[in-house]
Amino acid sequence: MVRLGFIGAGGMANHQAGQFSKIDGVQITACCDVSAERRAAFAQKFNVPAVYADYREMLAKEQLDGVTNVTPDAMHAEVSIAVLERRIPILCEKPMATTLDDARRMLDAADKAGVVNMINFSYRNSSGLQAAAEAVRAGLIGELRHVESSYLQSWLVSKGWGNWRESPGLLWRLSTKHGSAGDLGDIGVHIYDLTSFLCGDIVEIYCKLMTFDKGVPGNQIDEYVLDANDSFVSTVVFAGGAIGAIHSSRWAVGHSNSLRARVYGTAGAIEVDLDRAYDEYRICAGEENMKTFRWETVKCPPTPSNYERFIEGIRTGKQDPSSFANGVKIQAYLHYSFMSDRLGRPVRVDL
């Protein structure tokens, strides 16, 4: 039996708990939230016997085989380090931290603890993405030359997610004072992770961030100053020499939550389009297909989810590729994107 503890019992914790509950031999034995209402509702919904207001007390009193850190971004470092000091395997929500220094401190703590550590980049749950990454690594499309990838949402222009002007759950994402690193911090992390998972490390970034006028008098609603970026475009260079354009936006009309990457190599091209399907990728490779511009769809059998791989890691001690070390890389891409935007020029990524 794997005894799992939850720190944070909000929206994403509820989603995670639903996923963990489907895995045989896993029991959520403890949970913690500073909100009495949320921890009580979570404990009732998932039958959790031990409920805490203070995560340090939970860590001191409970025998846990793994902990998932589903607190807000600004709490990730403090909570994860406390868990790792007790040598408990950890799954931490994305983004890993709010600063590169904090992410590095978290990695140090993980290295010292020597236990399984993971960041929950959810799109790695796609078997199409997993298989496409393997195909790229196996050289099916040759050496990479050119990459384009995007993560598109439209909730600033459409009401598909509700009216952001009246939704605290969306308004905080527009305000740096409320801990938001904008579109780049929220969904940029996912597209940087997806793209580097497919194409390898990024060594140079030239990023432009934009914060557009939202037609709100004084650019403020209640305590929310609407100052966080809402669109970004990065030109990047990969360690393997390819160039890429990576972008995301909250202004992309017609898209609810669309991730897509197209990777072009010397012997073919691969496309992952998660709007189309999570369990397939498309490939154009081989002389005849390249000559006739013919793409084939490859259906991909299910691969273990992040949650299944975390539990497997706890059971076997095997470290997953979506580790804290990878999390530091993605945090570095954010850090150098902000720096590049500030300086108005390309910057080298220094891990």
What number of other Cβ atoms are within 10 A of residue 131's Cβ? 20
Binding test (CB under 6 A) with ligand NAD, winner from 17, 67, 75, 252: 75
- What would the x/- binding string for ligand NAD be over residues 90 to 109, using CB under 6 A? ---xx---------------
CB nearer ligand NAD, residue 11 or residue 302: 11
Q: Which two tokens stand for residue 122?
A: 């959810």
35 lies in the binding site for ligand NAD (CB under 6 A): yes
Within its chain, how far is the Cα of 163 from the centroid? Answer: 24
32 lies in the binding site for ligand NAD (CB under 6 A): yes
How far apart CA 236 and CA 242 sit, in angstroms, is: 8
What proportions of the chain, in percent to the nearest 5, are helix, strand and coil?
40, 25, 35
120 lies in the binding site for ligand NAD (CB under 6 A): yes
320 lies in the binding site for ligand NAD (CB under 6 A): no
Please give the residue whose beta carbon sits closest to ligand NAD in the complex.
10
How far is CA 270 from each of CA 2, 168, 190, 262, 295, rounded to the nearest angstrom?
38, 39, 19, 6, 9
10 lies in the binding site for ligand NAD (CB under 6 A): yes
Calculate Rg over the CA atoms of the chain.
Answer: 21
Which own/partner contact pairs does 179-182 have at CB distance under 8 Å and 24+ positions apart?
179/72, 179/73, 179/74, 179/98, 180/228, 181/73, 181/95, 181/98, 181/228, 181/229, 181/334, 181/338, 182/209, 182/211, 182/228, 182/229, 182/230, 182/232
Q: Are the beta carbons of 94 and 315 closer than 8 angstroms? A: no
CB nearer ligand NAD, residue 152 or residue 347: 152
CB nearer ligand NAD, residue 8 or residue 268: 8
323 lies in the binding site for ligand NAD (CB under 6 A): no
How far apart CA 63 and CA 79 sit, in angstroms, is: 17
CB nearer ligand NAD, residue 7 or residue 283: 7
Binding test (CB under 6 A) with ligand NAD, winner from 2, 13, 147, 246: 13
CB nearer ligand NAD, residue 34 or residue 225: 34
Binding test (CB under 6 A) with ligand NAD, winner from 2, 4, 7, 91: 7
How far apart CA 348 and CA 342 sit, in angstroms, is: 14
Binding test (CB under 6 A) with ligand NAD, winner from 33, 102, 230, 271: 33
How far apart CA 82 and CA 97 sit, in angstroms, is: 14
Q: Say which residue the tokens 């600004």 belong to.
A: 74
Footprint of ligand NAD on residues 54-73 (CB under 6 A)?
A: 55, 70-73
Binding test (CB under 6 A) with ligand NAD, winner from 4, 5, 8, 311: 8
CB nearer ligand NAD, residue 13 or residue 194: 13
Count of chain residues binding ligand NAD (CB under 6 A): 22
Spell out a b/e string for 324-349, using b for 16 or more CB atoms within 10 Å of the CB, else e: bbbbbbbbbbbbbbbebbeeeeebeb
Footprint of ligand NAD on residues 169-228 (CB under 6 A)?
A: none
CB of residue 16 to ligand NAD, shortest distance in Å: 9
Footprint of ligand NAD on residues 257-316 (CB under 6 A)?
A: none
CB nearer ligand NAD, residue 12 or residue 243: 12
CB of residue 98 to ligand NAD, shortest distance in Å: 10
CB of residue 7 to ligand NAD, shortest distance in Å: 5
327 lies in the binding site for ligand NAD (CB under 6 A): no
43 lies in the binding site for ligand NAD (CB under 6 A): no
Residue 335 DSSP SS3 = helix
What number of other Cβ atoms are within 10 A of residue 167's Cβ? 13
Footprint of ligand NAD on residues 121-180 (CB under 6 A)?
A: 122
Interface residue list for ligand NAD (CB under 6 A): 7-13, 32-35, 38, 55, 70-73, 75, 93-94, 120, 122
